[in-house]
Structure 1
Amino acid sequence: MSDVIDLAEAPVTPEHVAIYRQDYRPPDWLVPNVSLDFELDPERTRVRSKLRVTRNGDHDRPLRLAGNGLRPLAVKVDGSEARWTLDGETLVIELTGIEATIETEVEIAPSANSKLMGLYASGGLLCTQCESEGFRRIAFHPDRPDVLSRYSVRMSADKSRFPILLANGNLVASGAGEGNGHWAEWDDPFPKPSYLFAMVAGDLSANRDRFTTMSGREVDLAIWVREKDLPKTRHAMESLKAAMRWDEEVYGREYDLDLFNIVAVDDFNFGAMENKGLNIFNSRYVLADEDTATDADFDNIAGVVAHEYFHNWSGDRVTCRDWFQLSLKEGFTVFRDQSFSGDMGSKAVKRIDDVRLLRAAQFPEDSGPLAHPVRPESYIEITNFYTATVYNKGAEVIRMMRTILGDEAFRKGSDLYFERHDGQAVTCEDFVTAMEDASGIDLGQFRLWYSQAGTPTVEARIDHDAASGQATLHLSQAVPDTPGQTGKAPMVLPLKTALIGADSGEALREERLILLDREEATFTFDGIGETPLLSINRDFSAPVLLNADRRPGELERLAEVDANPFARYEALQELMYRALIAGARGEDADPAPVIAAMRGTLQSNALDPAFKGEALSMPTEGLIGDRMDLVDPEAIHASRDALRQAVGKALADDLARAQEQHASGDDLSPGAKGIRRLKSVSLGLLAAGDPARGAALAKAQYDAADNMTDRQGALAILASLGGPERDAAFAGFHERYKEDSLVLDKWFALQAAAQRADTIDVVEELARHPQFSARNPNRWRALVSHFAANQWAFHHASGRGYRFVTDMILEVDRINPQVAARQVPSLGRWKRFEPNRAALMRAELERIAATPGLSKDVFEQASKSLA
């Protein structure tokens, strides 16, 4: 019987202690070199660590090495047994000199690590996830991002179980060990923080390729998966090479090692991880073919592969000083991957997708109890701040910076940033300063985007004096109060603006970039003889809520003639919002303007199918609720259902023609993707207007589909309908894909997202399905997260939806607190809902907060949500 206790899984009482950005202090000790020796075994892995440490500054403070679930079996200083203590789980060693060599030995159990942080087992593999504080679950170490080290790693294991041994950097030696054992040694020449450490051991096969860099260096590329999945890695490899080429051309960034590895694992808390030279991916962002992946899956794979590769410079070579600076690497890199994806396909459609995600995920965060700045001021558990604000709003901050500076100056700024801070751990302030120094533009007030939470609201009104030919644009802004922040200063808002002739439909002046940096301001346009239509915040140049004073017919005209695709999309969406909100309030909601604008969009020969598909997609019930002072899920659902029904009936012929189009499943061009997108959107509206016809068409599309996009599109429509077509399609889908874990996630997700009165019954039954597992984050999210995002079903008047999600949070909190904590915000916006639902939601949050042994991850989210 082993005498090593897996403290990581032992019940503990979390220390709910906040950490503040203002308390940052440089590390007392630096660690220039780390040597690690792993004797790998799923049940008992022995880890020997050797750290060369140096005192940082003139002080007499001891060396403190973080641990989590570790018990030291041996501790040596300069080769001799050392005196040490444990302060909680921190190893404390008194040192007298300015440098020393610290050796520790621990034993861990990867197979028992359900948190999926540190070293854990997944599908026969041993793999790591160390961001943000997972390395301390492997070995004692300062485990903070401003301690950068050169790593050398030796791995030994049973060759029959773990024939492939991978780590960061370059393979320097390998050989046979005792019996059936073997070993490999890896060295990473670039200093890195511990959160970027990675290793993988398992029975894997590689899709190999090569890339020639702009300086002529040859880089070996490999994507490691189970042998049966090799055919599904082609798209990921092509995406990797495209990203490498793009980063050279757009940012001048060349890859710096001789080898780049990607490994796909089934159990992963995140999408992927940018570990230096050894990226570890959730398999859903690697594996794809036309039969099992949708167009959205293909696009997501390309975007995530690019994101993690781009981190090689914006995150690895230049990293963040502390976790409050997380957006330094994530906001910048999200902006880079968004730009890459736009260049690889349709810029307009990509921008629409990105803004839709921002509005669905980040705007609610900004207006709720968990609102925080892009650079937070405090946290209890840092993993709770891997949020849409840090990532997506952080990307919008970078985008605004580029808009203000211009492309050329922004590129000079990024070059200076990488040159100045290569090999360093720095702050968001350092990034902005590099942009200022390269451009000569003062960004002092702009820095408020990093420190003030909340989404600014902009009021816009334009006056036109026909006699003088002058138009005057009146603008005002307000930044709302958020938890801990009141009385905020005005932000710098870059608003791309154009005036369009109401009669001619032509631009009356070139697009103008307006910088609104005060609470109120006016801007004049001369030589405007024609009545102008206001096209403002084009391309969503600032992440704001816009309230523009519109004349009757103005939105309809903009939806018809605006040359800016995003602005044209916005006009049609705003028409929909006005009708939907009026209907939800019980007011007269005339669908005629929406129907006319949608008809014009459908019949236009100037618009591509991809844009049509986005423009015709009606706002979700969640987005509608975000526009209302008080959310009534039943009223919103009824209003949206009525408008969709009216559109489906009025435009049946046009929608049928769009739905009949076909693009071959092996064609992944933007045009083919657009056809498939429009096809499914049209099918959904047809089904709303005539459910029986819709069910028949959906089943026919499902049966005839030669790709997952058409198949899933049809199944999504059938999910919300009744009848034999639905039952047959779902049964057939399960039978066909029951052995494919990623596709089966879709089966769970589609049923959880169904717009049906009995969805809560279905979801509760699916939670008992033999193929549902709370231990697999993908499967858990497929059911629980998709259900919680289904506003009508989740907010069931009985409160059953709240109880179900709470039960699932508490169950998975004992297994994987990170996954559990990310679901708490679905209950956290209780103040926005009508009183009965608000009381039910608050009661579930109180139940969560009162649960004994609650993780600090979930405690922080629940307690802040109750404040």
Structure 2
Amino acid sequence: MRDAQPSTIYLKDYRVPDYLIDKTSLSFHLGERSTEVTSRLTMRRNPAAETASQSLELHGAELELLSLAINGDVLPEGDWEQQGELLCIHRVPEAFELECKTRIYPQKNTSLEGLYKSSGMFCTQCEAEGFRKITYYLDRPDVMSVFDVEIIADADAYPVLLSNGNCTATETLDNGLHRSVWHDPFPKPAYLFALVAGKLSRISDSFTTMSGRDVALHIYVEEKDLDKCDHAMQSLKNAMRWDEEVYGREYDLELFNIVAVDDFNMGAMENKSLNIFNTSCVLAKPETTTDAGFQRVEGVVAHEYFHNWSGNRVTCRDWFQLSLKEGFTVFRDAEFSADMGSPTVKRVEDVTLLRTAQFAEDAGPMAHPVRPDSFIEISNFYTVTVYEKGAEVVRMIHTLLGPEPFRAGSDLYFARHDGQAVTCEDFVKAMEDASGVDLSQFRLWYSQAGTPQLSVQGDYDAQAQRYTLSVTQSCPATPGQAEKAPFHIPLKVALLGEAGQLPLQLKGQPQDTETADNTEMVLDVTEAKQQFVFENVIESPVASLLRGFSAPVKLSMNYQRADLLRIMQSDSDGFCRWDASQQLGLAEIRNALAAQAAGEAAEVAQDYLDACQQLLEDTQLDPAMVALMLQLPSEAYLAELISPVNVHAIHQAREALRKGIATALVEPLQAAYRRCASDEAYRPSAEQIARRSLKNAALSYLMYTSHGPEMAREQFETSRNMTDRSAALNAIVNSDMPYKSDALQRFYQDWQHEPLVINQWFQVQAMCRLPGTLERVVELMSHPAYDAANPNKVRALVGAFCGQNAVNFHSEDGAGYAFLADRVIELNRRNPQIASRLLGPLSKWRKYTPEVQQRMRGQLERILAEPELSSDVYEVVSKSLKD
């Protein structure tokens, strides 16, 4: 383990590397007890280096050094020394070949970083700094090299040997061994290196690029999973075609491989031409996979493929620039998923994640800018801020520039920086140069942390036919940033009249008579206080603001209840309709909380019930949107809006409202359920997914009525797809039905040989809202199907309970907090990366009532007192406790 108080790394201290590696040749001899790695590095002094030092420092961790040689001459021990995770060679020539032989122990590598062996297969995960667990190297993203790789292993035990690039040779050797050789002609940093060796089967296909080249496509899995790969393969081909059509990006090698691995810390990894995936992001078929699972496979496959250009051909200079590749690629995969399904539903789903997870991160101890200023452990910065908020920053550039200038900017970015490791600034500069738009102030989105808040006041002057929007922006203090300069915020607006959207004419600007639709406009909010005056407004309008969620901000507006009802029922912008439904739902919950505090029964306002009934009966509206609009704000989102957070009061109020809605609208809910039921063969199409989402949303409400339990039981017993069966099981588990135990046992017996389905079985029990859930979770940790060494199992059971079951995690005796602390301490020794990612719920301790704060803080202090605390866990805990 690392020092309990590791040092902080700062962006301001970045220096170019003293040496470069033009060519990397690796040879792996994979053994059952250990693996020997020989690296030959063709190196030279970097002409851009700021120092003339003749010493060379290489990164390495947990390596057994066997020998070192420069230009064939073995170095005596006096010529080098090991200093922690650095190997220092005291004198090297201007240009040379360094040969290094190391021994590593993949079988003992439980961190799942570097080269590890799991479930009988060798696999790598090198991002961010895993490569230093393989051999000594300049393990930093701005050192890019051409790689040649030789793999030697037992032919029977490991018949499949894979690495990056194209396979240039295979050979049968003596003693039952075989060999494969791989060449990747495109320079890449070490974090993109990949190796897989094992007993795997594959499905194959091909893709013809826009220039007419044929690319061989393979997905490698365990033989039992071959029937679950078709969707991933089709998603890959769709992504390849989409990237050509939308971005002009063509794949650049003869071969593209995907490998599915069950023991994996992340969702997937974009290693050049050898993408390694968590099985949950590849395997899918109707009987075992929900609609959300199918959509996740499609989105993640696309994301990793899109990285071929936005991450691999152009990569990040240093890890502070992580959002350069991740934010841009998340934006790209979101647009792809929107084109493959429902754009509005996809947008609402993304906004929901931002408002719950990312806004919470902005308000917590781990708040950081999209481009962080410092870190202790880079693995802790694979966050929703870097990914999802980073994608929103790219989306805002797209909004400000427009589609064609944005495409011109991306073309310039790829052309200008192909084969380079660059910065977020380089990306923005390409957008500026291609469009002519000044993005100087906009750059603050990369350097300032926190969620901006917009307060908007609308006033109508009937006599002058003038409507004024007064906008004030602010941003709360975050760790290390007490004061914030005004952001450049694109605020997309429309004005709603009785008959629809009104034409917009902004004072001081010529009226747009050429554009077919002049009823929507993007306002540039750039000052702390600003006014926008619209002229020739013939009636008092309702302002439709932040259309499409045009910026990741919190918005408050002096809406009347009637205004929100109008937006919810008639706005043409799907996001705004959904957001109005959420604001009305929030008002109902606040009223329920007040009634609860006064000892009175909560009642649902009739106008809100009427609006919900109208939604249920609207057969023209996308059923998926109806399902989303019927959902009350989640408890996680409410915890971001109500301070201090009283978890149990919020849960009780929300449950009372759901029951009230169900009781009042039982007939429309039943009608919607029946209307969306179907016996047609399952397809993960947008149309079918939409119907299933509304049907199961209706079922979740009907469980509060006498009709629901039998409907859930029938759906569970007769459904032929995992979406409906899982939804029914969830409804049953959260009820007092005696059938619950039988349903859980039957589900397990049906799917005990499908690990991903059993993860769902763990998760549905971990998320049960009823008392006694923690005891059940502890019991399940001893279940034969649970494996604490498997990140998917940990996320499904421990992560789901602690992160998604607030009412039970926050039990009044503090048992949930102690349970999480115990798991973090255990995982700190085995897999620090997973341990640190579980800490999120405890890190938010300041949001709760004083007695709850004390119990949560106590568990954080207990973790911090642990000896040999990993840097991953230390950083999160120490920042969480920092005053």
Structure 1 equivalent of residue 515 of structure 2: none
Aligned-residue offset at 1:757: 1.8
Q: Is the 8 A contact 2:4 2:867 kept in 1?
A: no
Looking at structure 2, the residues matched to 520 and 435 of structure 1 have their Cα atoms a distance apart, in angstroms, of 27
Equivalent residue in structure 2 for 1:103, among 99, 105, 116 = 99
Structure 2 equivalent of residue 638 of structure 1: 652
Aligned-residue offset at 1:96: 4.1
Equivalent residue in structure 2 for 1:73, among 46, 59, 66 = 66
Mapping 1:39-438, distance limit 5 Å: 39-57=29-47, 59-82=52-75, 83-438=79-434
Structure 2 equivalent of residue 504 of structure 1: 499
3-state SS of 1:644 partner: helix
Q: Give the aligned residue type for 1:64.
A: E
Q: Is the 8 A contact 1:335 1:396 kept in 2?
A: yes
Looking at structure 2, the residues matched to 89 and 626 of structure 1 have their Cα atoms a distance apart, in angstroms, of 41
Looking at structure 1, the residues matched to 206 and 818 of structure 2 have their Cα atoms a distance apart, in angstroms, of 52
Q: Is the 8 A contact 2:604 2:657 kept in 1?
A: no
Structure 1 equivalent of residue 531 of structure 2: 522
Structure 1 equivalent of residue 697 of structure 2: 681
Mapping 1:592-603, distance limit 5 Å: 592-603=606-617
Q: Is the 8 A contact 2:494 2:501 kept in 1?
A: no
3-state SS of 2:450 partner: coil
Equivalent residue in structure 2 for 1:655, among 669, 673, 676 = 669
Q: Is the 8 A contact 1:28 1:61 kept in 2?
A: no
Looking at structure 2, the residues matched to 71 and 798 of structure 1 have their Cα atoms a distance apart, in angstroms, of 48
Structure 2 equivalent of residue 494 of structure 1: 490
Q: Give the aligned residue type for 1:740.
A: E
Gaps of 5+ in 2: 505-518
Deviations 1:715-765 (A, max 9, x none): 111121122222221111111111111100000111111111221221122
Structure 2 equivalent of residue 719 of structure 1: 733
Looking at structure 2, the residues matched to 823 and 763 of structure 1 have their Cα atoms a distance apart, in angstroms, of 15
Q: Give the aligned residue type for 1:326.
A: L
Deviations 1:669-696 (A, max 9, x none): 21111010011111111113x2x43222
Looking at structure 2, the residues matched to 289 and 714 of structure 1 have their Cα atoms a distance apart, in angstroms, of 18
3-state SS of 2:259 partner: strand
Looking at structure 1, the residues matched to 771 and 144 of structure 2 have their Cα atoms a distance apart, in angstroms, of 54
Gaps of 5+ in 1: 1-10
Matched, 1:570 2:565: no
Looking at structure 1, the residues matched to 318 and 528 of structure 2 have their Cα atoms a distance apart, in angstroms, of 33
Looking at structure 2, the residues matched to 174 and 486 of structure 1 have their Cα atoms a distance apart, in angstroms, of 60
Structure 2 equivalent of residue 621 of structure 1: 635
Looking at structure 1, the residues matched to 87 and 156 of structure 2 have their Cα atoms a distance apart, in angstroms, of 36
- Return 521-530 or 319-328, whichever deviates more: 521-530
Structure 2 equivalent of residue 770 of structure 1: 784
Aligned-residue offset at 1:148: 0.3
Q: Is the 8 A contact 2:495 2:502 kept in 1?
A: yes
Matched, 1:532 2:541: yes
Looking at structure 2, the residues matched to 443 and 744 of structure 1 have their Cα atoms a distance apart, in angstroms, of 49
Q: Is the 8 A contact 1:43 1:112 kept in 2?
A: no
Looking at structure 2, the residues matched to 474 and 835 of structure 1 have their Cα atoms a distance apart, in angstroms, of 38
Equivalent residue in structure 2 for 1:549, among 555, 558, 575 = 558
Looking at structure 2, the residues matched to 42 and 432 of structure 1 have their Cα atoms a distance apart, in angstroms, of 49
Equivalent residue in structure 2 for 1:26, among 9, 13, 16 = 16
Aligned-residue offset at 1:507: 4.0
What percentage of residue pairs aligned between the two structures are identical? Answer: 48
Looking at structure 2, the residues matched to 507 and 571 of structure 1 have their Cα atoms a distance apart, in angstroms, of 19
Structure 1 equivalent of residue 25 of structure 2: 35
Looking at structure 2, the residues matched to 15 and 52 of structure 1 have their Cα atoms a distance apart, in angstroms, of 36
Structure 2 equivalent of residue 797 of structure 1: 812
Scaled by the length of structure 1, the TM-score of the pair is 0.97
CA gap of 1:142–1:257, structure 2 versus 1, over 3 A, is same
Matched, 1:836 2:851: yes
Matched, 1:854 2:869: yes
Aligned-residue offset at 1:584: 2.7
Deviations 1:809-831 (A, max 9, x none): 11111110000000112101111
Q: Give the aligned residue type for 1:860.
A: E
Aligned-residue offset at 1:89: 2.7
Q: Give the aligned residue type for 1:67.
A: G
Looking at structure 2, the residues matched to 172 and 60 of structure 1 have their Cα atoms a distance apart, in angstroms, of 38
CA gap of 1:573–1:512, structure 2 versus 1, over 3 A, is same
Looking at structure 1, the residues matched to 846 and 593 of structure 2 have their Cα atoms a distance apart, in angstroms, of 18
3-state SS of 1:256 partner: coil
Aligned-residue offset at 1:606: 2.4
Q: Give the aligned residue type for 2:388.
A: N
Q: Is the 8 A contact 2:5 2:874 kept in 1?
A: no
Deviations 1:777-799 (A, max 9, x none): 00000011111121111111110
Aligned-residue offset at 1:505: 4.2
3-state SS of 1:559 partner: helix
Equivalent residue in structure 1 for 2:742, among 728, 734, 740 = 728
Aligned-residue offset at 1:15: 4.9
Aligned-residue offset at 1:590: 4.2
- Return 525-534 or 321-330, whichever deviates more: 525-534
Equivalent residue in structure 1 for 2:754, among 729, 732, 740 = 740
Looking at structure 2, the residues matched to 643 and 484 of structure 1 have their Cα atoms a distance apart, in angstroms, of 41
Q: Is the 8 A contact 1:47 1:107 kept in 2?
A: yes
Looking at structure 1, the residues matched to 87 and 566 of structure 2 have their Cα atoms a distance apart, in angstroms, of 68
Aligned-residue offset at 1:699: 1.1
Structure 2 equivalent of residue 8 of structure 1: none
Scaled by the length of structure 2, the TM-score of the pair is 0.95
Looking at structure 2, the residues matched to 665 and 641 of structure 1 have their Cα atoms a distance apart, in angstroms, of 35
3-state SS of 1:72 partner: strand
Looking at structure 2, the residues matched to 625 and 231 of structure 1 have their Cα atoms a distance apart, in angstroms, of 42
Equivalent residue in structure 2 for 1:694, among 700, 705, 708 = 708
Q: Is the 8 A contact 1:224 1:261 kept in 2?
A: yes
Q: Give the aligned residue type for 1:59.
A: A
Structure 1 equivalent of residue 512 of structure 2: none
3-state SS of 2:122 partner: strand
Q: Give the aligned residue type for 1:578.
A: A
